[in-house]
Amino acid sequence: MPTISERGLQMPSSPIRKLAPLARAAKQEGVKVYRLNIGQPDLPTPQKGLDALKTIDRKTLEYSPSEGLESFRNTLTGYYAKFGLDVHPDEIIVTAGGSEAILLTFLACMNPGDEMIMTEPGYANYISFAVTAGIHVKAVTSHIEDGFALPPVEAFEEAITPRTRAILLCNPNNPTGYVYSREELQKIKEIVRKYDLYLFSDEVYREFVYTDEPYLSALNLGLDQNVILIDSVSKRYSECGIRVGMIVTRNRLVRDTVMKYCQARLSPPLLGQIVAEASTVGTEAYSKACFEEYKARRDFFIKRLNQIPGVFSPMPHGAFYTVASLPVADAEEFCRWCLTDFRYENQTIMMAPAAGFYRDPDLGRNQVRMAYVLKIEDLDRALTVLEKALEVYNSR
Amino acid sequence: MPTISERGLQMPSSPIRKLAPLARAAKQEGVKVYRLNIGQPDLPTPQKGLDALKTIDRKTLEYSPSEGLESFRNTLTGYYAKFGLDVHPDEIIVTAGGSEAILLTFLACMNPGDEMIMTEPGYANYISFAVTAGIHVKAVTSHIEDGFALPPVEAFEEAITPRTRAILLCNPNNPTGYVYSREELQKIKEIVRKYDLYLFSDEVYREFVYTDEPYLSALNLGLDQNVILIDSVSKRYSECGIRVGMIVTRNRLVRDTVMKYCQARLSPPLLGQIVAEASTVGTEAYSKACFEEYKARRDFFIKRLNQIPGVFSPMPHGAFYTVASLPVADAEEFCRWCLTDFRYENQTIMMAPAAGFYRDPDLGRNQVRMAYVLKIEDLDRALTVLEKALEVYNSR
């Protein structure tokens, strides 16, 4: 029997999804599982997007162009303009979700053995895609006690070596919900310019910023040749399953290189693009309602979370996640136990152990990532279950 | 300005798509372009598949499971049973088209620097994905004068080194239309067993075999731990744009490893799976009609092609492609010239230069790949244009 690859062995399991079999087993027992582990919003997809499926009059569901439908890319320029971003349709390449956007960006910009700096805790799949591409990730640690603020510039400079090719930011941040300030981004800009690095900026949560400060995209930092924007419609329109994301960059060579990968995989999903295009136009009221809903959930959730004895969560200012510390030594063991052993009125809770979001295996052991993607009454109930679970777990 | 990656520079441009800008320019001039360059069938998607989009009652287009919808995987077992394949739903992982199935198979089974043997001419994107994964492709040459039959086993054995990890077959073959005989597959089986290699078998054209011999899938060779089946609904249901393919293997370690990559990219396209599932059940009459149509096209197309002075095509026994030799020294130059300079009654033809399907840069220079994916009257017209183009080109 032939062996599997070394890189396959090195691929981490998803900290977000690896407990899924345990949750399925609980569900099959008839237990209600509150899923705070995954950024799968319960909000509806825009009706315009759903309606677009009903009116497709194509007889053959053919390939779209490798770079995405022209009409969709045109529509996106109007979307970006609303955020003060001047983007030409040719600067947009449509991908199979933000996931593919990340992988193709890594492949086009970095060689195996190159290094990329990101903050930890960080979105675990960046590391998965880095392993896929043979990239070494150097993590600069942000701390729960600082509300996961951007580490000082000196920490980034210390991490730079001759193999460093890129800094990756996720802003607003998944998993912490942190939104970088103008001053922080200016400091990043200085490093990027000084060392002529790529700046990969994942801004898929830009619609969900709960501060009054105007949002600053990396595309507006004045670093045209260095910045690659990673984007996706998944979260902003609650349509994660359609798999539509995009790479936006003014760097033509990067676009040309990404396009070679895009041609190899032929086409991004046609149906998803049709839904995404319809979701993008005339849905301002929808977006506002989603924003208000998430803001209300955040306000409720973080307050309630911090009322549980021994639990601490900073106040996230964007996205719909938080990383909280629990009064347990091993949060992964606790998360598993919740799914396998604990029921409160036949209910339990699913969270993502945060250790998988850190590079340093000693960090985040007592932390979990939670997504406030459920209705407030469900969030309330989920946190009641969590509180009871902690009581039982710690008195065993 | 940071440089792009070496591997990005090494990525080949798609021989199938790289002339697309020239075709677009011709179209913008009002010229009718017959597209024989790409396997984009003009046949309709099954009505059941199209109707499924109209009846989606989901309010949120959420992620599907990373391995694909359970209902779809269950449906696929029934599909495979019709071809004599005993497949359990757990042995199927749904991917974003056959493209992703190929890439994830390479990543899970081979390390950078490993070698894979394939036949040339071969589907160009295998090479693109091999470059993506850092795999070295060793090509064993099949020859137009033999009708692109599988090269003798000795040629495969000569290509094997200590780094060889896999043999890749495409059966029925893209681009040649060749269908491997039982004897040929048995010989491959012996080598695979002798050297304990992986056998990657791309069988996306299994519905289109025009011989009377029963079709033999690699999954039925009795090499359970070695065989990875690459599949896709794109061609069999004329729904290339929905991006639904699959990996089927009885090797559990490979599945577990592929699943880690699948979890990183979260989900295959949800809408595509809904269409594919509906297309899979109760569409036997549709499939039979498509088969008859392609067979009639093949019979017409190959006969008519060989009537053009200086043109030679073997008779393909499967898929909907052929590789033909033209009476020109440089088929790529000729293909470009057709798009930029030649018009016959304001029409021209687009073909894929076959050189991009060979590893050896000296091979296939006078060959093109053509897909007979147009109606017979359009194929007839396209070949008239080709005949005129060759006359003019060779009398310049």
Portion 256-315 of A in contact with B at CB < 8 A:
257, 260-261, 263-272, 275
Do both A69 and A25 map to the same domain? no
Residue that terminates a domain, selected from A246, A280, A314: A280
Do both A99 and A198 map to the same domain? yes
Do both B94 and B243 map to the same domain? yes
Portion 126-185 of A in contact with B at CB < 8 A:
128-129, 132, 134, 165-166
Q: Would an 8 Å CB–CB cutoff place A193 in contact with chain B?
A: no
**Domain containing residue B35: CATH number:** 3.90.1150.10
Spatial separation of the C-alpha atoms in residues B46 and B26, rounded to whole Å: 32
**In the predicted model, is pLDDT for residue A17 greater than 80?**
no
Q: Is the Cβ–Cβ distance between B14 and A264 less than 8 Å?
A: yes
Do both A20 and A151 map to the same domain? no
How many other CB atoms are found less than 10 A from the CB of residue A84? 12
The answer as to whether B263 is a domain residue is: yes
pLDDT digits (tens, 9 = 90+) for A267-279: 999 999 999 999 9
How many structural domains is chain B composed of?
2
Residue that terminates a domain, selected from B280, B306, B336: B280
Q: Would an 8 Å CB–CB cutoff place B125 in contact with chain A?
A: yes
Closest CB to A196 among B2, B17, B62: B2
pLDDT for residue B15:
73
> Would you call the peptide bond into A121 cis, given omega within 30 degrees of 0 as the criterion?
yes
pLDDT for residue A339:
97
Spatial separation of the C-alpha atoms in residues B380 and B376, rounded to whole Å: 6
pLDDT digits (tens, 9 = 90+) for B286-303: 999 999 999 999 999 999
Do both A153 and A292 map to the same domain? no
Average pLDDT over residues B357-373: 95
Q: Would an 8 Å CB–CB cutoff place A320 in contact with chain B?
A: no
Q: How many CB pairs under 8 A join A and B?
A: 260
pLDDT for residue A319:
96
Residue that terminates a domain, selected from B256, B280, B304: B280
pLDDT for residue B297:
97
Domain limits at A126? 58-280
Do both A27 and A101 map to the same domain? no
**In the predicted model, is pLDDT for residue A3 greater than 80?**
yes
Give residue A41's pLDDT band: very low, low, confident or very high (50, 70, 90).
confident
pLDDT for residue A159:
97
Q: Is the Cβ–Cβ distance between A366 and A329 less than 8 Å?
A: yes
User: E strands within B213-317?
Assistant: 227-232, 245-248
Do both B162 and B276 map to the same domain? yes
Which of B194, B251, B260 should we substitute to test contact with A (largest number of A Cβ atoms within 10 Å)? B260
Q: Please name the residues in contact with B29: beta carbons below 8 A apart, sequence gap of 6 or more.
A: none
Do both B118 and B221 map to the same domain? yes
pLDDT for residue A20:
86
Q: Is the Cβ–Cβ distance between B257 and A5 less than 8 Å?
A: yes
pLDDT for residue A38:
85
The answer as to whether A68 is a domain residue is: yes
pLDDT for residue B232:
98
Pairing, β B347-350 against β B32-35: parallel
Do both B10 and B66 map to the same domain? no
pLDDT digits (tens, 9 = 90+) for A194-207: 999 999 999 999 99
* Nearest residue in chain B measured CA to CA from A62: B241
pLDDT digits (tens, 9 = 90+) for A242-257: 999 999 999 999 999 9
Q: Do B108 and A64 touch (CB under 8 A)?
A: no
**Domain containing residue B118: CATH number:** 3.40.640.10
pLDDT for residue A285:
97
Spatial separation of the C-alpha atoms in residues A341 and A25, rounded to whole Å: 11
Indicate the residue type of B219.
L
pLDDT for residue B14:
79
pLDDT digits (tens, 9 = 90+) for A128-159: 999 999 999 999 999 999 999 999 989 999 99
Q: Report yes or no for ipTM above 0.85.
A: yes
Closest CB to B60 among A18, A42, A254: A42
Contact residues, chain A, for B4 at CB < 8 Å: 108-109, 253-254, 257
**In the predicted model, is pLDDT for residue B271 greater than 90?**
yes
Computed over every residue of chain B, the mean pLDDT equals 96
Which of B35, B54, B63, B249 should we substitute to test contact with A (largest number of A Cβ atoms within 10 Å)? B63
* Nearest residue in chain B measured CA to CA from A68: B241
Spatial separation of the C-alpha atoms in residues A81 and A133, rounded to whole Å: 33
Spatial separation of the C-alpha atoms in residues B392 and B386, rounded to whole Å: 10
pLDDT digits (tens, 9 = 90+) for B65-83: 999 999 999 999 999 999 9
